[in-house]
């Protein structure tokens, strides 16, 4: 029986963050024996730029994944946030990793909002089953993470489009300290459970 192909993405560095744990998490999932028993896993670390997020649907289309599981860092978060939508808008306050700023509208003429196409509630339950704190979120912010969500959803619409999920992770304690933060290992266990939920 053919195992499904899951594309797992995370981000590279951006201003103020020299080592992005979301990219490391995507790579860890691709190496994880537990994840690989559930599916074929392909990791992609995305440069944290608006230009690269716009190219995501084309990259995904070449791989032809059965599902897409995306991770990004939410620096102020304390829990895993499973996003439920992406918005066709961006904040012009912050530079991306290429020192560029976006226009306020990501794709002129596209819908203002697109809903996530994966079972978000099931992903929250899967993460919680590992002991992680997780919740649904309807605001992915105005930075590159939201742009990645919106571009991926807009570029992969239709009956045969794979389900897409996006999860914001908090800083692991190895990066930011604080005993109330999850360890990287705990984040990986939650991510493995969410990947399995997408497969099932």
Separation of alpha carbons 189 and 32, rounded Å: 10
Choice among 46-50, 92-96, 113-117, 179-183 with the minimum mean pLDDT: 179-183
Closest CA to 41 of 62, 66, 24: 66
Q: Would you say the pTM of this structure is higher than 0.75?
A: yes
34 CB contacts (<8 Å, ≥6 apart)?
A: 192
Closest CA to 71 of 56, 82, 87: 82
pLDDT at 200 over 90: no
pLDDT, tens only, 12-63: 999 989 999 999 999 999 999 999 998 999 999 999 999 999 999 999 999 9
Q: What CATH code is carried by the domain that includes residue 134?
A: 3.40.630.20
| Cα–chain center distance at 99 | 22
> What was the pLDDT predicted at 40?
95
For the chain, what is the domain count?
Answer: 1
pLDDT at 176 over 90: no
Q: How confident is the model at residue 1 (pLDDT cuts 50, 70, 90)?
A: low
Find the domain containing 165 and state its range. Answer: 5-199
């Amino acid at each position: 029986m053919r195992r499904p192909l899951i594309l797992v993405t995370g981000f590279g560095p951006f201003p103020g963050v020299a080592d992005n744990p979301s990219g490391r998490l995507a790579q860890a999932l691709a190496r994880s024996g537990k994840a690989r028993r559930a599916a074929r896993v392909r990791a992609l670390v995305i440069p944290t730029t608006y230009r690269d997020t716009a190219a995501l649907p084309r990259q995904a289309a070449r791989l032809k994944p059965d599902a897409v599981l995306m991770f990004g860092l939410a620096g102020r978060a304390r829990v895993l946030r499973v996003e439920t939508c992406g918005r066709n808008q961006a904040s012009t306050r912050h530079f991306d990793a290429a020192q560029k700023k976006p226009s306020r509208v990501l794709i002129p003429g596209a819908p203002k909002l697109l809903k996530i196409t994966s079972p978000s509630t099931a992903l929250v339950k899967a993460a919680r089953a590992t002991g992680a704190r997780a919740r649904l979120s309807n605001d992915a912010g105005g930075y590159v993470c939201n742009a990645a969500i919106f571009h991926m959803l807009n570029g992969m619409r239709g009956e045969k489009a794979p389900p897409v999920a996006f999860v914001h992770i908090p800083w692991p304690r190895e990066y930011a300290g604080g005993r109330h933060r999850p360890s990287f290992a705990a984040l990986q266990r939650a991510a493995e459970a969410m990947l399995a939920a997408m497969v099932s």
